[in-house]
Structure 1
Amino acid sequence: MDISTPEAAAAHFAQRPDAELLYLARHASRYPPAVGAAAVAELQRRGLVPEAPAPSLAPAPAEAPRETWGQLLRQLGKGLFWPSPPYVAVPLLIDLNVLVWLLMVASGISPTDPAGRELAAWGSNVSSFTLHGQPWRLLTSLFVHGGATHLLLNMISLWLLGLMLEQRVGTWRVLAVYLASGLAASLATVWYHTAGINSMGASGAIFGLYGFMLALLLSKKMVLDKFDRRAMLGLVVYLILSNLISGITGNIDNIAHLGGLLMGLLIAGPAAVFTMPAEVLDGETKETS
């Protein structure tokens, strides 16, 4: 048997019966590689076994480049500070709060421990001013914070809950609840602290968002499956209780928290029934957080 060249092997196996060629192909490991290859080639020529598919000429898809930490941080920053539907209200509110703090720091105020008179100059809710010709402090105090830590904690809370809520109820409802609850929180604190108070911070407004979502979850006006509803309800209750408990011992105005929470609960009732979209229907200085 001459298989010294491909031509000789082809001529030899062209004369062999199908059964012999099939045996050689099936037991190719017992013979020199050229024997098995020649037997398969002859079987393919006779149409007894399929031709091997031709290798694809298309280039293999390039592996997607892995995102670096810098790219991930840029994306996070964009999602946090850059308004882009469906998230518009929350980034705008975060931007405004951060901007006021940056302007305060740029003016020479301590970034971590501003004085009460400095906070008052930037619009905090000072009873003696608010009740005597400066009612605008009820609103401006929502965007003034008593230091970087105060600001950071409030913005994290706003970001965590605000994005979940805005996605489900829309930008304008989040803005309306935030501002109405913030005003209610400011009114509650000047009403309760008759001896006078210097209060500031976004947490009264954020508590309004807590109350709004809590009412929607309990009334099942927000369409969620059972497990998501329980998880979100647990998160909201935890945030409410943890903030109220921390306010018992700290320099925190829990009355503002309760005022904002109550307003959020009150708004949620008629808002859920009449205005929800179809997909939703199924003296002392205190910080408000």
Structure 2
Amino acid sequence: MFIRNESFYSFRRSYPIVTILVAIHLILFIWMNFLPGGRYILTMGIGNNLAVAYGEYWRIVTPIFMHISIGHVIFNSFSLVIFGPALEKMLGKAKFLIVYLITGVIANIATFYLGSPYMQHLGASGAIFGLFGLYLYIVIYRKDLIDSANSQLVMTILIIGLVMTFVNSNINVLAHLFGLIAGAALAPIILTGVKPFHTRPVFIDDGEPAFDPNRWQKKRRTSQRLKKALWISFAVLVIIGILARFL
């Protein structure tokens, strides 16, 4: 579910929305930091509570796609590549994009109403935590959509993310928390009629499902790979989170 072993070609074909979102992250990051006009893009797009109060409402949306530090853009893009594909496949392209944008917007609205009038912010973290909110609901209430190994992985990464939210000083805590809440609140509606990410019965020639005698061995190997992926993801996210604090 969260182990990525596709080629770049198959990944972008299978998960076009995730691919486009990551591409936007990287293009805007390069533009804002290295290309002409980047400072203008940053100035006009960054979340700015005072500017929103004066009617610049686009700033509730544009920060979702913008990152100024290398650690920040890598962390959010990495999280999206790992945890976005399963939801894009289960929900479909349109519903996935709607959830991503709505949770990001709600996170920024919360930042506007509850944050300092002079607060400025940017980053996809609110939308990323919106996806985690959806997963949190799945783990608790829709166990038919996720197995125990993947549930443990999701909860471990979510706990790490929440700890880092309060440990790092340069984090928009409101966006993280309200993105998470928004994702969990939308989940009962968004998950209506959704089927699990993996539904792969074994078929014989006449099209009838057949018992796979090796399925227990396959499950054991999958569980081992997931545990390995969990610790690798743990290490990578912690390292990137530390780098994001200083870059």
TM-score, normalisation: structure 1: 0.61
Structure 2: state its 5+ residue gaps: 200-244
Q: Residue in 2 aligned with 1:231?
A: 149
Q: CA separation in 2, counterparts of 1:235 and 1:182?
A: 23
Q: Residue in 1 aligned with 2:113?
A: 191
Structure 1: state its 5+ residue gaps: 1-72, 111-116
Tell me the secondary structure at the aligned position of residue 45 of structure 2: coil
Check if 1:101 corresponds to 2:29: yes
Q: Residue in 1 aligned with 2:160?
A: 242
Shift of 1:109: 8.5
Give the letter for the 1:88 counterpart: P
Distance change >3 Å, CA 145–CA 279, structure 1 → 2: closer
Q: CA separation in 2, counterparts of 1:104 and 1:120?
A: 6
Distance change >3 Å, CA 234–CA 102, structure 1 → 2: same
Q: CA separation in 1, counterparts of 2:70 and 2:10?
A: 21
Retained in 2: the 8 A contact 1:210–1:240?
yes
Q: Residue in 2 aligned with 1:272?
A: 191
Distance change >3 Å, CA 222–CA 103, structure 1 → 2: farther
**Equivalent of residue 179 in structure 2, options 233, 252, 260:** 260
Retained in 1: the 8 A contact 2:50–2:117?
no
Distance change >3 Å, CA 120–CA 102, structure 1 → 2: closer
Q: CA separation in 1, counterparts of 2:60 and 2:183?
A: 17
Give the letter for the 2:31 counterpart: L
Retained in 2: the 8 A contact 1:244–1:254?
no
Q: CA separation in 1, counterparts of 2:49 and 2:196?
A: 43
Q: CA separation in 1, counterparts of 2:165 and 2:91?
A: 29
Greater relative contact order (Cα < 8 A, sep 6+)? 2
Shift of 1:79: 4.8
Retained in 1: the 8 A contact 2:91–2:191?
no
Cα RMSD after superposing both structures: 2.6
Retained in 1: the 8 A contact 2:32–2:42?
no
**Equivalent of residue 209 in structure 1, options 124, 131, 135:** 131
Q: Residue in 1 aligned with 2:104?
A: 182
Distance change >3 Å, CA 260–CA 100, structure 1 → 2: same
Distance change >3 Å, CA 232–CA 279, structure 1 → 2: closer
Distance change >3 Å, CA 79–CA 188, structure 1 → 2: farther
Tell me the secondary structure at the aligned position of residue 191 of structure 2: helix
Q: Residue in 1 aligned with 2:20?
A: 92
Identity, in percent, stands at: 27
TM-score, normalisation: structure 2: 0.70
Tell me the secondary structure at the aligned position of residue 146 of structure 1: coil
Q: CA separation in 2, counterparts of 1:222 and 1:147?
A: 39
**Equivalent of residue 9 in structure 2, options 78, 94, 99:** 78
Task: Give the helix-richer structure, 1 or 2.
Answer: 2
Give the letter for the 1:150 counterpart: H
Distance change >3 Å, CA 78–CA 105, structure 1 → 2: farther
Retained in 2: the 8 A contact 1:119–1:144?
no
Q: Greater CA radius of gyration, 1 or 2?
A: 1
Distance change >3 Å, CA 77–CA 109, structure 1 → 2: farther
Deviations 1:219-249 (A, max 9, x none): 126434xxxx222222222222212211223
Aligned pairs for 1:156-167 within 5 A: 156-167=78-89
